[in-house]
Amino acid sequence: MSKKKPVPMTMGDGGMAVYFGLRWTLREVASWMIRTNDLMRQAHSSQPGIRYISFNRGFHDKTQALLLYSREVWMPLTIGDKVIQDQTRWRHFSISFHNTDILKDPEHYGHARLPSRDDRVLVDRWIEAFFGNQRRLLLCEPPFTERGRQFDVWHYRLLVGENWLPAKVTREIPESEFEAAGWISYPKSQGIRQELLSKRVGER
């Protein structure tokens, strides 16, 4: 039996993505994106100080989730005037939800829907699919723009070694240097996301 293959597509921003149809489970999608070492063509292919080892973007039809997963090398990591490490490696994940058929209408990329309580649960399920028990070690970057807060778009990062396995982190909370950068632990991010969601629901 042949393995499933996602459908390649060009998004409205000119970048590449893949489309996962209704039969794809969350774990199958995560496994494919983790294993695939592609550097998908994208509108903004690089950021200063970051080298992408892989960059995959996909849309999962069943959950209407737009996913971004990458492996990144940051060098050096500097916060303020202090160089924390000469080089760091990260597995990175972010997610947003869309209520349009992106395969048929890729120009609507970026037209995210307001997240619901069900979407919040889905975020946690996706994080588990990508990181498993390692999610307790995630460093989470909250959205800093009003749009990011509105659509609950966070960046979840796992510090890893040269073999892309988790670095030797003994605490579940971020080091003080990462806290200074605005990154927080995964458990703390869940509480903040719940507060923001409750506020949005109450304002409707």
pLDDT, tens only, 105-114: 655 555 678 8
Is the pTM of the predicted complex or chain greater than 0.85?
A: no
| Per-residue pLDDT at 1 | 34
Q: How far is residue 141's CA from residue 153's CA, in Å, rounded to a whole number?
A: 9
| Per-residue pLDDT at 43 | 39
Residue 2 has pLDDT above 50, yes or no: no
* Helix 117-131, helix 186-203: angle, nearest 10: 160
Residue 62 Rama label (left phi>0; alpha psi -120 to 50; beta): alpha
Residue 164 Rama label (left phi>0; alpha psi -120 to 50; beta): left
Look up residue 166 and give its DSSP letter: B
Q: How far is residue 66's CA from residue 51's CA, in Å, rounded to a whole number?
A: 22
Q: Residue 52 is inside which H or E element, if any?
A: strand 50-60
Amino acid at 191: G
- With a pLDDT cut of 70, the percent of the chain lying above it is 75
Q: What's the mean pLDDT in 63-82?
A: 82
Q: Residue 88 is inside which H or E element, if any?
A: strand 88-97
pLDDT in tens, 120-170: 889 999 999 999 999 988 999 998 888 788 888 899 999 998 888 887 655
Half-sphere exposure of residue 50: CA atoms within 13 angstroms, side-chain side: 14
